[in-house]
C-alpha cells in the first residue's frame, strides 16, 4: 500500500517536473520569438505603424458610412505585407508615403486614390548620381528588349521580379554564391513555379519546368547552383546583371558555354569582383568555397602543370628505354 503510494507520488512528481520544464521551454521560446520580432520591427519606421496595422493583416475594419456600422472586410491577399520581410529589405527605413500618395494618411482612404498612377522605381533610381554605378537607365533599355516586356508591355514592372517591399541587394552584399543564386532564382520561381502568380500576366498555364529542362543532366544540381538568367539572358559585359530575358527558343543549350576554361559563368555569375574581398578567408578560400566544381571550367594552374610534367616524364622515360632497346639489340 505504502509502496504504491510512493510510486504514485513519484509519478505525480515526475509529471509535474516534465510539465513545468515543458512550460519553461515554451516561455523561453516565446521570449526568444518576441525578442526577435521586436528587433526586426525596430528597423521599421514608426510612422508606418498605422499603415502596417491593417496592411499586414488578413482583415481590416472601417466605419461603413452607409450602414453606420463598423465593418470587417478581407484584405486582398496579394497586398498583405510580411513585416519581417519588409524589415529585412532595402526599403525598410522608408515611409509608406515616400512612394504611395501622402493622401493615404487619412483613413478610410479616398477610393479615388487608387486611380493615381503609382511611383515607379526609376522615379527615384533614374538619373541619380548616387545610383549611377548600377546604370538603371541601361537596365531599362535592356529590359525593354526582354521577352517579359515584349509580351506584357508596361504591365511588367520592375517590381514583378524585384519586390519593392522585400528586395535585398544580395547580389551586391552576399559573399556566398549559393545565396546569390538562391535569391536570384527565387525571383523567377515566384511566378514560374506558381500558376496563380504566373497568370497575373499570362493567359496560359505555367510551363512544366522540370519537363522542359529534361535534357539537362543533374537538373536539381544545376537549378541549385546556376541562376536561371545564366542561360536565359544575353550577357552584357557592362551590366552586373543582364536584364534582357530571352524568349525560350533563344535560351542557351550549349553545355560548353559554361563547361570550358572561358566559362560564361566567370563573365556573369562570378564576375562580381568584390566577391573576393567580401570573403573573410581571402582569395583562395573564396574561389574554393564559392565555386562549386564546374566540369571543364575549373583549371588549376599547379595541378595542370604538375600533371603535364608527370606525363612528359613518363613519355621521356619510355623514349629513352626505346632508344636503348634499339641500340642494344
- The CB density around residue 10, as the number of other CB atoms within 10 Å, is 10
Tell me how long the chain is. 329
H or E segment and range at residue 266: helix 264-267
User: At which residue does the C-alpha cell 519553461 appear?
Assistant: 24
To the nearest whole angstrom, how small is the minimum distance from the Cβ of residue 266 to other proteins? 13
User: Helix, strand, coil % (nearest 5) of the chain?
Assistant: 60, 5, 35
To the nearest whole angstrom, how small is the minimum distance from the Cβ of residue 248 to other proteins? 19
Nearer residue to other proteins within complex by CB, 170 or 291: 291
Return the closest-CA partner of residue 245 out of 142, 126, 94. 142
Nearer residue to other proteins within complex by CB, 119 or 292: 292
Nearer residue to other proteins within complex by CB, 191 or 264: 264
Nearer residue to other proteins within complex by CB, 195 or 299: 299
To the nearest whole angstrom, how small is the minimum distance from the Cβ of residue 75 to other proteins? 40
Compute how many residues bind other proteins; rule: CB under 8 A. 34
Nearer residue to other proteins within complex by CB, 102 or 304: 304
Among 23, 39, 255, 316, binds other proteins (CB under 8 A): 255
Among 5, 69, 130, 325, binds other proteins (CB under 8 A): 325
Return the closest-CA partner of residue 113 out of 95, 98, 101, 124. 101
**Greatest CA span in the chain, whole angstroms?**
117
| Phi–psi pair at 247, nearest 5 degrees | -65, 155
To the nearest whole angstrom, how small is the minimum distance from the Cβ of residue 296 to other proteins? 4
162-221 binders of other proteins (CB under 8 A): 217-218, 220-221
Return the closest-CA partner of residue 163 out of 243, 269, 56, 91. 91
| Phi–psi pair at 74, nearest 5 degrees | -85, 140
Among 257, 266, 271, 276, binds other proteins (CB under 8 A): 257
Write the DSSP assignment of 41-96 as a string of letters. HHTS-GGGHHHHHHHTSSEEEEEETTTTEEEEEEPPGGG---HHHHHHSTTTTS-H
Can you tell me whether residue 126 is helix, strand or coil?
Answer: coil
The whole-angstrom separation of Cα 295 and Cα 293 is 6
Nearer residue to other proteins within complex by CB, 96 or 226: 226
Cell of 16: 509535474
To the nearest whole angstrom, how small is the minimum distance from the Cβ of residue 293 to other proteins? 4
Does residue 254 bind other proteins (CB under 8 A)?
yes
Nearer residue to other proteins within complex by CB, 118 or 288: 288
The whole-angstrom separation of Cα 15 and Cα 220 is 47
Among 10, 39, 314, 316, binds other proteins (CB under 8 A): 314
274-313 binders of other proteins (CB under 8 A): 281, 285, 288-289, 291-293, 295-296, 298, 300, 303, 307, 310-311
To the nearest whole angstrom, how small is the minimum distance from the Cβ of residue 281 to other proteins? 7
Nearer residue to other proteins within complex by CB, 113 or 221: 221
Nearer residue to other proteins within complex by CB, 39 or 312: 312
The whole-angstrom separation of Cα 70 and Cα 192 is 40
Report the interface residues with other proteins, using CB under 8 A. 217-218, 220-221, 254-257, 259-262, 281, 285, 288-289, 291-293, 295-296, 298, 300, 303, 307, 310-311, 314-315, 318, 321, 324-325, 328
Amino acid at each position: 500500500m505504502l509502496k504504491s503510494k510512493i510510486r504514485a507520488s513519484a509519478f505525480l512528481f515526475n509529471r509535474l517536473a516534465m510539465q513545468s520544464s515543458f512550460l519553461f521551454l515554451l516561455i523561453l521560446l516565446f521570449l526568444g520569438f518576441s525578442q526577435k520580432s521586436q528587433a526586426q520591427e525596430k528597423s521599421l519606421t514608426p510612422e508606418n505603424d498605422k499603415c502596417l496595422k491593417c496592411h499586414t493583416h488578413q482583415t481590416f475594419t472601417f466605419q461603413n458610412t452607409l450602414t453606420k456600422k463598423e465593418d470587417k472586410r478581407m484584405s486582398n491577399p496579394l497586398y498583405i505585407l510580411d513585416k519581417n520581410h519588409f524589415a529585412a529589405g532595402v526599403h525598410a527605413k522608408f515611409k509608406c508615403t515616400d512612394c504611395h500618395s501622402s493622401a493615404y494618411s487619412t483613413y478610410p482612404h479616398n477610393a479615388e486614390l487608387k486611380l493615381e498612377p503609382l511611383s515607379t522605381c526609376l522615379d527615384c533610381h533614374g538619373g541619380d548620381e548616387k545610383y549611377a554605378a548600377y546604370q538603371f537607365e541601361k537596365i531599362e533599355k535592356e529590359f525593354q528588349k526582354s521577352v517579359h516586356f515584349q509580351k506584357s508591355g508596361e504591365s511588367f514592372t520592375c517590381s514583378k521580379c524585384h519586390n519593392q517591399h522585400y528586395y535585398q541587394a544580395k547580389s551586391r552584399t552576399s559573399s556566398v554564391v549559393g545565396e546569390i543564386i538562391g535569391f536570384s532564382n527565387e525571383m523567377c520561381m515566384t511566378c514560374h513555379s506558381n500558376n496563380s502568380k504566373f497568370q497575373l500576366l499570362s493567359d496560359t498555364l505555367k510551363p512544366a519546368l522540370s519537363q522542359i529542362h529534361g535534357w539537362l543532366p543533374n537538373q536539381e544540381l544545376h537549378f541549385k547552383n546556376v541562376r536561371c538568367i545564366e542561360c536565359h539572358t544575353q550577357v552584357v559585359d557592362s551590366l552586373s546583371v543582364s536584364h534582357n530575358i530571352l524568349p525560350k527558343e533563344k535560351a542557351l543549350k550549349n553545355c560548353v558555354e559554361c563547361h570550358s576554361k572561358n566559362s560564361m559563368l566567370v563573365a556573369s555569375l562570378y564576375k562580381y569582383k568584390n566577391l573576393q574581398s567580401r570573403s573573410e578567408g581571402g582569395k583562395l578560400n573564396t574561389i574554393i568555397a564559392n565555386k562549386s566544381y564546374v566540369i571543364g571550367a575549373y583549371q588549376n594552374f599547379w595541378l595542370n602543370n604538375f600533371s603535364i610534367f608527370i606525363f612528359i616524364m613518363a613519355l621521356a622515360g619510355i623514349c629513352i628505354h626505346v632508344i636503348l632497346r634499339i641500340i642494344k639489340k
